[in-house]
Amino acid sequence: MSAFDNKICLITGAGSGIGRAMAVGFAKAGARVVVCDVNEERARRTAADIGAAALAVTADIGDEAAVTALVGTAIDAYGRIDVLCNNAGIMDTMALPADITLAEWERVLRVNLTGTFLVTHAVLPHLLRQGGGAIVNTASEAGIRGGAAGAAYTASKHGVVGLTKSVAWAHAKDGIRCNAILPGPTMTGIADGAGFDPAGAARLGPVLALGERLAQPEQMADAALFLASDAASFINGAIVPVDGGWSAA
């Protein structure tokens, strides 16, 4: 028996980086995986690489109707959802509170926080009906620190941490666990097309230097697999840095 045999995992942002590593990792551990990404080509590629155990679904997690369709597709295909990894997220431009525009604020909050909420909100009724399940949210070091990103990303990831605790507190009695990982700087495509202006790019350098070394996406996936597994059966509401010791300094 593998840890996730017969389990159904829904992973957002699974077309690239950490989410892709999660999808591959859960599939290797026996799960069937719903590979969600806003980018159709990326979702298809991850699912094709996994094979028959994966189902690609294109959805924007910031769009309520798309999220309803996403969860409906997963339930139609598999009848249940055992693990939800709210992983999709976007970087901000590293703009500081005095400089950020409302458009930038709303763009980032819509995906990182509202999107995480929408998918959680749509999946919870199924976890309640089934009598339990596990949620792993991908927050960030910027979810507990003020100097790891710009204002919008920092606020959005603090929000993800708060939502994680709210779900854990509200649904512990229902057999639902909700935890978050806080990745340190990780080798993914998240900075591509983030739209850093020169000042934003200059601010990112020291943040990355603080991380000292970049993690591989699989190191984040390993932590998510553990938190979603029965080995973590009494871990609920935990906010887990996965940063090689960066936040310990």
Ligand X SMILES: NC(=O)c1ccc[n+]([C@@H]2O[C@H](COP(=O)([O-])OP(=O)(O)OC[C@H]3O[C@@H](n4cnc5c(N)ncnc54)[C@H](O)[C@@H]3O)[C@@H](O)[C@H]2O)c1
9-68: contacts with ligand X (CB under 6 A): 12-13, 15-19, 37-39, 42, 60-62
| Smallest distance, ligand X to C-beta of residue 1, A | 29
Helix (H, G, I), strand (E, B) or coil at 98: coil
142-181: contacts with ligand X (CB under 6 A): none
The answer to whether 51 and 24 have CB atoms below 8 angstroms apart is no
The answer to whether 148 and 161 have CB atoms below 8 angstroms apart is no
Chain-centroid distance, C-alpha 28: 19
Closest by Cα among 8, 15, 5, 65 to 35 = 15
Choice among 153, 161, 176, 185 that is catalytic: 153
Kindly report the backbone phi and psi dihedral angles of residue 182, in degrees, each rounded to the nearest multiple of 5, phi listed first.
Answer: -120, 90
108-137: contacts with ligand X (CB under 6 A): 111, 115
Residue 78 known to be catalytic? no
Closest by Cα among 239, 244, 221 to 3 = 221
Site for ligand X (CB under 6 A): which residue of 183, 196, 207, 241? 183
Can residue 88 be called a binding residue for ligand X (CB under 6 A)?
yes
Number of residues that this document lists for the chain = 249
Stretch that binds ligand X, among 24-32, 125-133, 161-169, 182-190 (CB under 6 A): 182-190
Which residues in this chain contact ligand X in the complex, by CB under 6 A?
12-13, 15-19, 37-39, 42, 60-62, 87-90, 111, 115, 138, 140, 183, 185-186, 188-190
Active site residues: 153
